[in-house]
Chains A and B, each alone.
Chain A
């Protein structure tokens, strides 16, 4: 508490020029970061958290932005420096890492060259010294065989490894302050765990300060000493992380925290539980209601047996098939009316391909799919179009899942009309009804998708999926792209709809905490196979497969008392499901742990 702050931000106000008018997007934000400290700025999209960091680095377009206040780095005001002086600060005294590791490295230079450039430019090292130092940095960020990977190109690295390279590059100049702008958001959860551990370790070793920008309260709890909560451009609350989590004063802070799904919060709960909703103005909390769906049904509505989906890998001059991606291998599950089965796993595990194969948006290679008494794989194209009435899909990205050229009313009414389920008047009635049902207003029918926020668009997509009165809904990461408070609302909406309409959900997600909250049963997928499936309580409270355990231990827990705990995750990467021609997948053995809880043993 006594040390002089490394960075002191005073009354930072950033405005953007929109149609000739200055609109403030960050208002009067002040905070300090002391040596060796981690400060998190947490907030949802549009809260101004990234703009704050870009303002500190003065990386915003000059003509379109105006930054006021003071940004003191070791007592020197960065806002008064010339552009040339500022260049000596960036990447030297202050370094930055970004969200998207796939695009923040230059693809045409080797990673070794990109890191040593920082050293030769800012530190005036010779090429040989820089090379040695670069290899040392790569070892420091735990890249295996660092020396041999010096001359490799970014495309030869996985996402997690690239983020390590980015960190190595940021640390190469030994900065006093590292600004990390959502550095783990684009990464899988086990990789995220590794990177968070790495940042913590490096901070101890180097004694630098970190400004960590994130939307994830779990990550905040793990990494930050102190936290600033931002809401629509204002810093509504700041203080020690424990204080924010346990004694948060501002209603928005409480709303944000109550909306965060916590892994393990469902212990002792038999059925899915809605999220509590806190009013961001008054702070009044609604008590979460458990879902009341009836599950005492015998016959499943959807039954999948030994589903296999492979994609050919072609290469060479005549694009001969040289292998296959075994996206889905021997997957079996069933789903009853009113039930939610979650498919969880990391990117590339085949969970989305499974959902699409079940709908035959992708042709499965083999297997048997029974939907509502019909054999899906044997349907002709016109029968297939009719089949789509019973199974519908909600996509991840609400910004690309609606046709921008079609009004919301048209989009919702279209499937209803195309399937001849009624005339135009009935379609309009149905559309109005559905819009009200998903929490929007019937008067919004003539508007276009761009006029809505992400959460509203996802509601529209849900309304559209419901227009055919489907029995099964495949929700492919349907809440993953949404802000945490919106995510809670949309999850509640899905539970409401399930109760009212007796829907069966195939809930595809990478987010263990959300899955725990909303599902009745869970299937964990790894490299195209289901490694563990069972009732939600059984899988979460008694995980058997090592991968399930690894996945669960990697989830950041929004509890600051666990800060400093290292997971000890292996520094490994996700394996690839690409196999050579003629590869025979091994026969798998399964073991029943308890009723309906089945684990792959070998």
Chain B
């Protein structure tokens, strides 16, 4: 067997081993990767940043633990950004396990900024049939959610006083790992004309660029790279603040994780190059024989 035949037929276990080793490199030798901010992420940041204290934002935390590596950091960054500006949040989860994901972030960020449920934010929790929930919330949040996730009536909450539907919120930002993203665009934006932005997994991103161009989305955060871009902008904002912000000393998880993503991508690209060199050499050799 010629060496170029070996290049196109590497045992998959070697690929797994090299990839595992590559992922370990940033843990052993930590390094940072420069993050260039794209306009679609900057648009979301500017949208949130221009809101005033006391304004309302709606967050849809609709992803499962399988996508938490990509979506947790962006959700955390946006929630911290909102709370740092005293923006009130209304949140829901439209995937079964999204509620647990949301709980984790709400516990962490609300404690950091000393925000209280019912006073500064309202977490509505999970309800099945996401398209229906999105549609009914456009009429009145109380149709689907008479109580928040902890059983407190929305009418008894100071934060929900006078808040009826999406019209009372500046916009919706959904963190999505599935087709709930389409429902936010079709129903919240299409039916009720609510400004919608999405944070999606890397593999989903390409499907949502048409909506960005048509203005159905005011911003798009694709995968861990998008989260790292938002964290970069948030960090820059914190550095400009005259007073210390509770998030200043926190880890920027996505920015740190970009190092892991970079090494793994280099390995994948390396193997693609190897396989193509081997492929061309073997074809050249075959032609010579003919």
Specify whether A and B are partners. Answer: no
Which chain A residues have a beta carbon within 8 Å of chain B's beta carbons?
none
Which chain B residues have a beta carbon within 8 Å of chain A's beta carbons?
none
